[in-house]
Structure 1
Amino acid sequence: MLRGNGCHTFLDAGPLGSEGRLGHGHLDTLSLELSAPGGIFLCDTGCLAYTSDAGAYREQVRTAAHNTVVVDDRDQAELTGLWRIAADGTRPRLLAWDPGPEEQRWEASHHGYGRLRDPVVHRRRVRFWPARRWEVVDALEGRGRARPGAVLALCPGVVARLPPPAGGGAGAGGRSAPPDERPAPGAGGGWVAPSYGVRRPAVVLVAAVRVRLPFQFRTVIEWMSIQG
């Protein structure tokens, strides 16, 4: 966890269950949740249902419902049934955690997408400053082409306003990206279960792009007080 000045950032670098048993976990390695003065802004889906609604169960555990990176619209592991996955290949590793007074840093990686035809390693670095500013860098390491998507799952009541498309975009190594390698941000409908059996509508933001690896996303989040 990174925290300071009324802000809390919860980060997940743990395995997916144990020996194929997902248990009450989700497919959300390297995901984050964020709270700041005013409430919780980024969160996961929570728990809506188990045996009573198999469709809702799959929705609530899938990778695309969490604040992490999805590759080729695939989950980090194959869900084979209620509470079960085929195997946990994420092999998460905490690379750095420095809760310093002026700047806090956390970095971790996972290999859940190593099972793809063109294997991908996801490495995430999060920096937090007590001035209520975050920087999230998601590096996708591998070869060939892939379609990664950086997800921001907003909490119920949080409003998203998308800016008009920019003229350029970041690409591999910071180069200027051609049109098909520019992240295309979009907002979709999602939901959050604040308690069991209760569903609240929420917005899910996804910046997806078809690129040649390696590639990285950089997301900057700033909390600002709006008066009046």
Structure 2
Amino acid sequence: MLTQLLTATGVLALLTLVPGPDMAIVTRRAVSAGRADGLRTVAGIACGLLVWGALTAAGLAALLAASAGVYLAVKLAGAAYLVLLGVQSLRRTGSGPAPGAADSGDSGDSGDSADDALTAPARGGGSAWRTGLVSNVLNPKIAVFYTGLLPTLAPPGLSPAVGMGLLVLVHVLLTLLWLSSYVYVLSRAQRLFDRPRVRRALDRLTGVVLIAFGVRVATATS
């Protein structure tokens, strides 16, 4: 049983480390609003995994994975949410003061205003925790993963419910560890991200990445 659990943990770790929408969303929040917002987003993502674990235990995730209509609805909703977040990031790149504004009036005050505009948390997307939760819950791929691959990794000798519950908890812990560490790394470079040009470039990059993930989710065949 221990060998099977270690194998399952390794598979889950590899899947967790693969860059995806969760990492893009965490990057967006951590860079735009700092470490605390990034960690709240990570917590929301972890709660989303717990929701999927509960739905799997109740049999609803299997129903979603088997129903083409419901799966399509959730898939399109999740894709639209990612695209919305991406558009918000792109719109933020033009929210700073116009070129030359820092040279008019009191240069010190104008500079502070520019920094405030660039470092302000993203508005319109709700709290960081809710952003992480919604983006994860609207990812139907997790339903397919939890009902397809995860049961094959469950340690023998345990009931299906206990085995699945254990693996979901392992997945949540790995996600928390990895994404929290990633937020910490981003926070160490916060001074770099606070530079207006760097902030705009990152907003553009994360916006494009989120939109690309949204399109990928929408066009995925399964």
Q: Do both share a fold (TM > 0.5)?
A: no
Q: Give the TM-score, by structure 2 length.
A: 0.22
Normalised by the size of structure 1, how large is the TM-score?
A: 0.21
The structure showing larger relative contact order (alpha-carbon pairs under 8 Å, at least 6 residues apart) is 2
Larger Rg: 2
More strand by share: 1
Larger helix share, 1 or 2: 2
